[in-house]
A and B are shown apart, each in its own frame.
Chain A
């Protein structure tokens, strides 16, 4: 991924509202959790990858991922964000928009191939389970990046407990080398869970 002067940049076509640096789009960590992850930890391996993005929302992050990746399968189940996502996927032909509930991968599996990396950014209480049910799309040795919003699981429980519970669920499902990165600096109440699928 492209870093210049300590900033993460993105090589794609410029969209309205983008900040620019040396003629390239700036990928701001405050707006995108994936960028925050590369600032705080390491670059996710999305270069020329096949990506399944669950919870694409209006496509802010997806637009950047699509700049790097070969193809992005973007799943979103909410009407208003989907409208923006359609506009985006008309601009970028390597985005495959899917208007489905990520809880039911069987509804969209005809359109998704085996991918190198699954990114999940869904603020739902059953986030880990949704990720696990989508592991059918992940190649052996592929990576899962899960952005866990702890407030959407519980507001009163201890945050470390929530996180470790999610991690143990993923471990039971067959993910290994699980690491967690707190995104507190840029996104309050969020933690990134990274794991390798080894089945």
Chain B
């Protein structure tokens, strides 16, 4: 049987107009998943069985059918919660970048016009933005106001991401905080990939450039990547930071596996892992 034999039409000559794609797509998928879909090597066979008037029609039908199948497969593959979290984290990161870039430009503007601001003891960008936002006839009034709103929206988004992370990756969130955990997830791309990673890979996830410069030209290896953002690491003493991040990465990779395979939160594991991490932070 060839795949086009699954089309059920009365007259065996099919042209692009009369073919119902959706049932065909469904039938093809189920047959493919059973492994009962036979091979079609040449369009000749399709023409010989009288299905398509010519090769161009065949190709155009095949194009539509495969598009239908891919869309179906995209819809069904992957965990929606996980994907939502990954994309929200990416949006959050982009928002952060936008805010800091805009801040910088606004500060540049301010300092260009009033260089006396340079002698202030502290940089106060948000003060400047706030001032612009309240003075109604300032040219940057609307932009500054929007920027402040964007910062508010960013906070809302972060709150939502925290909740979502605590649901989807509860163990990792409990260990290193929901935001760091979801950043790790979005960098790795999927829970499955994260769970199949070695803990050493997880330790340097996000430190790509320095890792490759280590492998290629033998500079010092990176001690930490994204997990540096976890308080337990960047607050620990310089001397023990390498050790702490190693232990954190070990525990996180176990947590990632629990999150992927078991999904539920394991309080006993979290308690033990927390103890290990705090023990690693103590000076020897």
Q: Which residues of A contact B (CB under 8 A)?
A: 70-71, 79, 82-83, 86, 89-90, 93-99, 107, 109-111, 113-114, 155-156
Contacts and interface: CB of A to CB of B under 8 A. Distances in A.
B48 interface: no
Interface in B151-204: none
B60 A110 contact: no
Contacts of A109: 39
B216 A93 contact: no
A81 to B, nearest CB: 12
Given A98-B70, A155-B215, A111 B40 contact: yes
Contact of A113 (B37, B41, B215, B216): B41
B32 A110 contact: yes
B74 interface: yes
B59 interface: yes
B42 A114 contact: yes
A127 B43 CA distance: 29
A95 B70 CA distance: 13
Contacts of A111: 3, 40, 62, 66
- Majority SS of interface residues in chain B? helix
B113 interface: no
B61 to A, nearest CB: 10
Given A96-B62, A96-B63, A79 B78 contact: yes
Closest 10 CB pairs of A and B: A99-B70, A110-B37, A155-B215, A93-B63, A110-B3, A99-B73, A93-B60, A109-B39, A96-B66, A113-B41
B261 to A, nearest CB: 22
Contacts of A96: 59, 62-63, 66
Contacts of A113: 40-43
Contacts of B43: 113
B212 interface: yes
Contacts of B19: none
9 contacts: A82-B70, A86-B70, A94-B59, A98-B66, A99-B69, A99-B70, A110-B40, A155-B212, A156-B216
B67 interface: yes
Most buried by B among A71, A79, A109, A113: A113
A94 B74 contact: no
B66 A114 contact: no
Contacts of B71: 86
B215 A89 contact: no
Interface string B70-84: 110110011000000
A44 to B, nearest CB: 21
Contacts, number: 58
Interface in B19-55: 32, 37-43
Contacts of A107: 32
A52 to B, nearest CB: 12
B74 A79 contact: yes
B88 to A, nearest CB: 15
B59 A93 contact: yes
B217 to A, nearest CB: 10
A83 B67 CA distance: 10
A156 B40 CA distance: 43
B66 A97 contact: yes
Contacts of B3: 110-111
Nearest to B33: A107
B247 to A, nearest CB: 27
Nearest to A85: B70
A70 B71 CA distance: 24
B105 to A, nearest CB: 26
A110 B39 contact: yes
B59 A71 contact: yes
A147 B34 CA distance: 33
A114 B39 CA distance: 11
A154 B39 CA distance: 36
B32 A95 contact: no
A99 B25 CA distance: 14
A102 to B, nearest CB: 15
Nearest to A155: B215
Contacts of A114: 41-42
Nearest to A98: B66
A156 B59 CA distance: 45
Contacts of A79: 74, 77-78
Nearest to B31: A110
A93 B43 CA distance: 16
Contact of A89 (B40, B41, B63): B63
